Chain A
Amino acid sequence: MRIELRVNGDDYRREVEPDLTLLHFLRDVLGLTGTKWGCLTGDCGACTVLVDGEPVVSCLQLACQVRDREVTTVEGLETADGLDEVQAAFVSNGAAQCGFCTPGMIVAVEALLRSNPSPTEAQVRESLSGNLCRCTGYNKIVDAALQAARARLLATDIA
C-alpha cells in the first residue's frame, strides 16, 4: 500500500505492508528509533506518538490508517533552541532513569499540555496512567510535567 504522511514536519511517501504498524513504520522504515515499544498491546505507552496532535499508542495503529495525517515523535519535539520545555524539565528533575519509557512519557505530557496548559497534579497523573514507568515511581515525572507547564505558560506570557 502506498501512503503519504508527514512525520516531524517532513513529508514521506512510502510503500508499506498493509498490516505494518505505525510503530514499526517509524522505527524500521523511517529509522526513527526514538519511539520505543514495551508490550505491543497498548498497555505500557512507551510507543506513544501524536497523530494530528492527539496521543496514540503507535503499536496499535496501522501505518496505513494514518495516511495523509501528521505524526509527531519524540524526535520532532526539539526546537531551534534545543530541548523543548518538557524535555528540559525531564532532564532537570531527574525524570528519566533508564529512559526507556521517557520518549512515550514526554510525548504524552506534550499531548496533555496542548489540551490543558495548566494541569493539576491529579490531572497529570490521570493523563499519564497509560504510560508505565518502572524506575521513578512517577514523582519526578509529575514534577517535570508541572514544571514544563509553568515554563511554557511563562514563555507564552512573555511572548
Chain B
Amino acid sequence: MVDVFVPDTLDEAVGFLGHHAGAAIPIAGGTDVLVDTRTGRSAPEWLVDLSSLPGLGGVELDGEVLRLGALTRIRAVELDPELQRRAVALVEAAKVLGSVQIRTMATVGGNLCHGTPSAEMPPALLVHDAVAEIVGLGGRRSIPLAELFAGPGRTTLGPDELLTSLRARVRASSAGSCYLRQTVRWSMDLAGVGVAASVEVEGTTVTSARVALAAVAPVPLLVGSATETVVGTDLPSEVADEAGRQAAAACSPISDARGTADYRREVVSVLVPRALRIAWLRATGAWPEGVPAPVNGVWTEEDL
C-alpha cells in the first residue's frame, strides 16, 4: 500500500523527497501517477501530495515573459485569454490534452515531469523558449526546458528536486504559434505525432522560428535545423516543406500500434510546414484571432 505525505511547504516537500529518495514520488493532479501505480509501472512507498502547496500555480505575464506555476492546471492554460493571444500553441496543446476532466486535474508540471514522449505541453513550451525552474535540497536552479527530458518516463530531476515553474517568451505582437497533431481519434487520444511551431516576424519576414516535436523521439525534440531554414524568408510553402523534411530527418521515431517509424517521419514532414504556415499567418495577422487551428492543420479559406 502506498502512503501519502502532505507537506505544508515546498521546503518540507523537497526535504521529504530527498529523505525518501527513490521511494517517494510527487503527485499533483494524479492523472498519470495513479495510472502508473495502478498498472504497476511505478511502485512508490510514498506519494508526496503537492496539490495544496501555495504559490506554485498561476499564469503571470511580465512584459514578454510568461511565468507558469508548475501546479497550473491544464484547463487554466486552455481558458486563459491572454495566452490565447500570445501563446496559442500552448492553448492548442492544452485543448487537445485528454478530456475536460483530465485537464481540470492535470498540471503543467506533471505533464512535463512524467516524461511521456507524446506529451502535449513540452513541444508547445519548447517553441516559446521555456526555462524550467527547479528547487531541490541543493537550492534553486534554472535550465532550458529541453534539458529536463532524459528519456521515456525519465527526467533529469534529482530525486529531491521539484519543478516549480516555467518561464517562457511570449511576444504580444508580430509573433504566432501553433500546435498540431496526428491522432487516431479526433479527441481523447495521445499524439502519434505532435508538432509545435512558433514564428516571429518583421513585416512578413521571419526573424525567428522554433519547431518542436512530440512522440517521434525518446524525448520531446526541438529541431534547430528546421528553424534556420525559415528565418529570413516570407515562409513560402517550399521553404516550409523544406523545414518539414529537415524535421523529419532530425527525429527518430519508433514503430508501435499508433504507426510505423516511416509513417511518423512522413507525418512530421507534413505537419511541420502546416504548423509553421499557421504560426506565420498568426504572426502576420492574417489568421483571425480566437480561431483555433484544426487538429491536423487542414484548413481552407472558408474556415477563417
Q: Is the CB of B100 within 8 A of A42?
A: no
Q: Contacts A19-B2, A19-B47, A108-B100 hold; do A40 and B38 have CB atoms under 8 A apart? A: yes
Q: B102 — which chain A residues lie within 8 A by C-beta?
A: 42, 57, 60, 130
Q: Is the CB of B104 within 8 A of A56?
A: yes
Query: How distant is B91 from chain A, measured CB to nearest CB, in Å?
Result: 14
Q: How would residues 216 to 253 of chain B score, 1 for a CB under 8 Å from any chain A CB and 0 otherwise?
A: 00000000000000000000000000000000000000
Q: Contacts A41-B38, A42-B35 hold; do A18 and B2 have CB atoms under 8 A apart? A: yes
Q: Is the CB of A129 within 8 A of B188?
A: yes
Q: Is the CB of A62 within 8 A of B49?
A: yes
Q: B286 — which chain A residues lie within 8 A by C-beta?
A: none
Q: How would residues 1 to 35 of chain B score, 1 for a CB under 8 Å from any chain A CB and 0 otherwise?
A: 11110100000000000000000000101110011
From A19, A42, A62, contact of B98 by CB (8 A): A42
B51 contacts A by Cβ under 8 Å: yes
B187 contacts A by Cβ under 8 Å: yes
Q: How would residues 27 to 58 of chain A score, 1 for a CB under 8 Å from any chain B CB and 0 otherwise?
A: 00000000000001111010010000011110
From A19, A59, A64, contact of B1 by CB (8 A): A19
Q: Which of chain A's residues 1-40 have a Cβ closer than 8 Å to chain B?
A: 1, 17-19, 21, 40
Alpha-carbon distance A138/B1, docked complex (angstroms): 39
Q: A48 — which chain B residues lie within 8 A by C-beta?
A: 101
Q: Contacts A60-B34, A65-B49, A129-B188 hold; do A42 and B4 have CB atoms under 8 A apart? A: no
* Beta-carbon nearest neighbor of A112 in chain B: B100
Q: Contacts A18-B4, A130-B98, A131-B99 hold; do A42 and B49 have CB atoms under 8 A apart? A: no
Q: A64 — which chain B residues lie within 8 A by C-beta?
A: 4, 6, 49
From B2, B6, B101, contact of A56 by CB (8 A): B101
Q: Is the CB of B104 within 8 A of A54?
A: yes
B105 contacts A by Cβ under 8 Å: yes
Q: B37 — which chain A residues lie within 8 A by C-beta?
A: 19
Alpha-carbon distance A34/B27, docked complex (angstroms): 27
Q: Contacts A42-B35, A62-B49, A126-B187 hold; do A19 and B4 have CB atoms under 8 A apart? A: yes
A127 contacts B by Cβ under 8 Å: yes
A148 contacts B by Cβ under 8 Å: no
Q: B100 — which chain A residues lie within 8 A by C-beta?
A: 55, 108, 111-112, 127, 129-130
* Beta-carbon nearest neighbor of A131 in chain B: B99
From A1, A65, A112, A130, contact of B30 by CB (8 A): A65
From B27, B29, B38, B101, contact of A130 by CB (8 A): B101
Q: B51 — which chain A residues lie within 8 A by C-beta?
A: 65
**Closest 9 A-B residue pairs measured CB to CB?**
A130-B99, A18-B4, A129-B187, A19-B2, A57-B101, A60-B34, A54-B104, A55-B101, A130-B101
Beyond contacts A18-B47, A45-B99: 15 other A-B pairs, Cβ-Cβ < 8 A, are A18-B4, A19-B2, A40-B38, A41-B35, A41-B39, A42-B31, A42-B101, A54-B104, A55-B101, A57-B102, A60-B31, A64-B49, A65-B30, A129-B100, A131-B99
